[in-house]
Structure 1
Amino acid sequence: MTSPFRRANAPSPDGSIIQGQNPPPLDARYSYFHRMNLGTITFAGIHTILMAVFILLQLLPTLEAEGDPTRIIIGRVIPIGVGLLITLYDLLYVSVKIINRELTNYGIDFIFFGLLGAIFGYFVGIYLIFKGILVMFIALTDRAVFAWRFQKSFRQVLLDFVNTFAWSLGFIILFLTNPWLQSDVDQQQFLYFYLALGALMVDILLLRWLVNQNRFAQVPLWIGITKLVFGVIACFYHFAGVMLVLEGIVIVNVAIFRRPIRESFDR
């Protein structure tokens, strides 16, 4: 069935999208957007409160038994902070973007930050992941719902996003799981930590710059392979290079199956 919005944002002759100032009327099929936003925010908030109670109840006896309370408090409070940030991010940013249908990143950023919440906040980001996957599916199958804001293809947005945030996720993982916040860490963990740190430094200082010097469909294959290698190395420490691996896969895929890509939303 053809969406009623498609004519309002037809591609111009050069393939770009003619954007209006306001989103077109929302199809009745997607009237659940408001309820979905309220549901994920509510569940994330309840999840965070229960997590905080559970952590605090476990924290008090632990402080009496351990001799380094500062390290213990920092390690236990981090998930609570992550839960609060994810809830506020959903409330103040994600929900507003969905209602206004300004999904310029196809929901990739929602899934990314949801993964951070799931990893570092006792799965508090799982609700945001669900919402991100749903809106991404809608954006790719019924693109006119969000197309008034689309300017790049999904593959272009994916590469831009991972090129921007691959090192960010890596450094966040290194910071939150660094050996100095843990007890009973062996020398092998320190070795993996420094290997991951070195791999991420090479990416941020050299590989990102090389990617930015080329158009999306013209990034050389060797850069993608190099990112894959350094991403795998960084993954030896708490999967700090997982986004770097994803970026390498995207670049290798584009380089092998290279074809002209228009600066539009129709791919």
Structure 2
Amino acid sequence: GGMQAAITAADRGHEVVLCEKGTQLGGALLYSKEYFKEDLGKLVDVLERRVRSRPIELMMETEVTPEFVKEVFPDVLIVAVGAEPLIPPISGVEFAVIAASLYDEDAIGDRVVVVGGGQVGCEKALHMAHLGKDVTLVEMLDTAASDASYLHWLALTRELEKNVTLELGTKCFEITGSVVYARDQDDQEKCFPADTVLLATGMMSRTELVESLRGSAPDFSVIGDCYQPGTVLEAIQYGYFTALNL
């Protein structure tokens, strides 16, 4: 969303400064390693080329703080700082790897348990199966990928049923270094051996960071996942229309 906002604002003749805390542009798109998401990698490349081909001042490895904003003193501040993983109160959760983060695929063990069966968890589970892993997906709801669009849900669940062991209606309550413990809807305890546990229990907006910046510029907008976790298309649309209305 932030990259698209910068592109559109520059195209409309505004002087634009794009700040990125990390060393790469792309935000959450950088985490999309799934074999069926190659086009998202191309999208990052396209957006980055568009940014660099415009008179946009690019500031990498730059954390935007209220003090920084006061120093730059922009007329408009568009905040697109994304979301962060929602960590549930599960005993031993520190043994899990956050699914929505950059991790070393070579370090993933042969037996993988994915805790959380929303769209992100299901996509990670399917990708792990594609890599030849023995994958179990644990989801407390009765339906996997319930947050996915209908057509995506159809394709995703069809592939999951063929390649992944689905444990629906099952809630994880403990993770150890080698086992995931859960209870089904009949309160029966289950245990799943795991070399690697991937945690995909949702995302939450970076509200605290957003609120710390609110009011630091005359015109203030919040877009993308830090406004409300959503899809790539929604983030790009937010960025485009926000910049269009400046």
Q: TM-score, normalised by structure 2?
A: 0.29
Q: Which has the larger strand fraction?
A: 2
Which structure has the larger Rg over C-alpha atoms?
1
Point out which structure has higher relative CO (alpha carbons under 8 A, 6+ apart).
Answer: 2
